[in-house]
C-alpha cells in the first residue's frame, strides 16, 4: 500500500452527523430568537467549524458578541446530543477494519471540538483508531483549513505528512490536505457533490467505502 497512514475527516466522511448538527444548531438559534434552518442549509454550511456554522445561520450584521453567546450555548448542548442520531455511513466500519488488518494506522481529524471528536470516535470505532484529533485553538491546534489537526495526527502516528492520505468530503478537506502536504481522497457519500469537489480541485473521488478500500489495498509505492 502506498500510504503509511490514513487520516479521515469525521462529519460527512465516517459519520453521518447531519441531523444532530441541525437539531442542535436550531435549538441554539431558537434560544436567541433566530429562524431555524433546513437540513439542506445545514449540509451546505458544515465544514468550517461550529462558529462558522452559526455565523452562516444568523442574519448578516449580527454582532460578534451575539455570535459568541450563541456559540457558548450551542457547544455544550451539541456535545450532550452529538450522538442522538449520528451513525457511521454504511461500509465505513468495514473499511476501517480492513485497513487496520492491512497494518495501516488510522486517525480521525475534525473541526469539531476535540472533546466531542474523541467521544464519538470511541463510541463508534472502538479499537480501530490510534488517535482522534479535533479543534483545540486554546491548545494551539487550529481548525481546518489550517493544517494543524492533520499534522498533529501524523506526528502522533510517527508518520511523515507526505506518507499520509487524508480522506474527506469537502472543499475544506481538499485545501487542508494540500496545506499539510498530503494527498487527498474525496468521498461522494458526504455533504458535497462531485461538482463542488471537482471545482475545489479534488482529483481522487470515490463513490463508496468499498471503492476506496479497493484503491487503497491495491495502491503501490
Asked if 216 and 165 touch (Cβ cutoff 8 Å), the reply is yes
* Whole-prediction pTM: 0.94
Pick from 207, 205, 195, 193: nearest CA to 40: 193
pLDDT, residue 136, reads 86
Distances from the Cα of 204 to the Cαs of 59, 93, 211, in angstroms?
Answer: 36, 21, 11
What is the 3 state secondary structure string of 25-91? HHHHHHHCCCCCCCHHHHHHHCCCCHHHHHHCCCCCCCCHHHHHHHHHHHHHHHHHHCCCCCEECCC
- Residues labelled as active-site residues: 9
> Residue ranges of the chain with pLDDT lower than 70?
220-221
Q: What is the pLDDT of residues 165-206, one digit of tens each?
A: 999 999 999 999 999 999 999 999 999 999 999 999 999 999
User: What percentage of residues in the chain have a pLDDT greater than 70?
Assistant: 99
pLDDT of residue 38: 97
Domains parsed from the chain with CATH numbers: 5-16+87-218 (3.40.50.1000), 18-81 (1.10.150.240)
pLDDT at residue 217, rounded to an integer:
85
Amino acid at each position: 500500500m502506498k500510504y503509511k497512514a490514513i487520516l479521515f475527516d469525521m462529519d460527512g466522511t465516517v459519520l453521518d452527523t447531519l441531523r444532530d448538527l441541525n437539531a442542535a444548531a436550531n435549538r441554539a438559534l431558537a434560544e436567541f430568537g433566530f429562524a431555524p434552518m433546513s437540513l439542506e442549509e445545514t449540509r451546505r454550511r458544515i465544514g468550517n467549524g461550529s462558529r462558522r456554522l452559526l455565523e452562516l445561520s444568523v442574519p448578516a450584521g449580527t454582532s460578534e458578541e451575539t455570535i459568541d453567546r450563541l456559540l457558548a450555548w450551542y457547544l455544550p448542548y451539541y456535545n450532550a446530543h452529538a450522538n442522538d442520531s449520528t451513525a457511521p455511513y454504511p461500509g465505513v466500519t468495514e473499511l476501517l477494519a480492513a485497513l487496520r488488518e492491512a497494518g495501516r494506522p488510522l486517525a480521525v481529524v475534525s473541526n469539531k471540538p476535540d472533546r466531542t471528536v474523541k467521544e464519538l470516535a470511541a463510541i463508534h470505532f472502538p479499537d480501530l483508531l490510534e488517535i482522534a484529533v479535533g479543534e483545540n485553538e486554546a491548545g494551539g491546534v487550529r481548525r481546518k483549513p489550517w493544517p494543524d489537526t492533520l499534522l498533529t495526527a501524523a506526528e502522533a502516528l510517527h508518520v511523515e505528512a507526505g506518507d499520509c492520505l487524508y480522506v474527506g468530503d469537502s472543499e475544506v478537506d481538499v485545501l487542508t490536505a494540500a496545506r499539510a502536504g498530503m494527498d487527498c481522497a474525496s468521498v461522494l457519500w458526504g455533504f458535497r457533490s462531485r461538482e463542488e469537489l471537482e471545482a475545489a480541485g479534488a482529483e481522487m473521488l470515490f463513490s463508496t467505502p468499498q471503492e476506496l478500500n479497493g484503491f487503497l489495498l491495491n495502491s503501490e509505492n
